[in-house]
Amino acid sequence: MSVDTAAISKTVPELEKAFNERWSAGDNTGYLDNYAEEISYFDPVLKDVIVGRDKVIAHIDSLYSNPRIVRSEYLNPVVHVSDGGDFAVLAYHLDTYVLDGDGDERQLRAWNATEAYRLVDGEWRIVHSNWAFSQTATEAIAS
């Protein structure tokens, strides 16, 4: 059986973008509904990883408010697909923009995102999520 890596490399970013667009419009359930039961989640505001769908949802719900994002830029997506075609890792940079008090766009956040997707019962589910603020270090460091 041949794995259609091109199709998977297109599908996974499209799913991610759809989840992000819902999030930006005030509906965080796109992501939450897609999380696998065993998801592990790194949030830049926490030191430790969160494991388990219910715990991740509770954490996100405790912080989430409608960000009113008016524009997002999805930059440099890279998808790695397993040989079996049932696992894919998506990494990309996301810039989000909101309107300021004068109605002008301003950047809200710059993110580096990594999402690991697994094919579960015919649907791509997020099994690991890692969100990091871009450019948080003030100097180039390796450790």
Backbone angles phi, psi at 42, to 5 degrees: -105, 125
The answer, yes or no, to whether residue 142 has pLDDT greater than 80, is: no
Instruction: Tokens for 118, please give them.
Output: 């697994």
- Cβ atoms of residues 31 and 24 within 8 Å: no
Residues spanned by the domain of 35: 5-133
Backbone angles phi, psi at 132, to 5 degrees: -135, 140
Percent of the chain with pLDDT over 70: 94
Residue 32 in any domain: the answer is yes
Residue 121 in any domain: the answer is yes
Residue 98 CB neighbours (<10 A): 15
pLDDT at 137: 59
Query: Which segments within 70-104 are labelled E, that is strand?
Result: 71-81, 87-99
The HSE-up count of residue 137 (CA atoms within 13 Å, CB side) is 5
DSSP 117: E
Domain containing residue 30: CATH number: 3.10.450.50
- Please give the average per-residue pLDDT across 49-62, as a whole number: 96
Give the bridge partners for 120, in sequence order: 123
- pLDDT, tens digit, 9 for 90 and up, residues 59-77: 999 998 888 999 999 999 9
- pLDDT, tens digit, 9 for 90 and up, residues 112-129: 999 999 999 999 999 999
Number of domains forming the structure of the chain: 1
Residue 141 in any domain: the answer is no
Instruction: Tokens for 36, please give them.
Output: 């696998």
The answer, yes or no, to whether residue 140 has pLDDT greater than 70, is: no
Q: Is the dihedral of CA 99, 71, 131, 112 positive or negative?
A: negative
The answer, yes or no, to whether residue 135 has pLDDT greater than 90, is: no
Question: How would you classify the pairing of strands 35-42 and 123-133?
Answer: parallel
Per the prediction, the chain carries an average pLDDT of 93
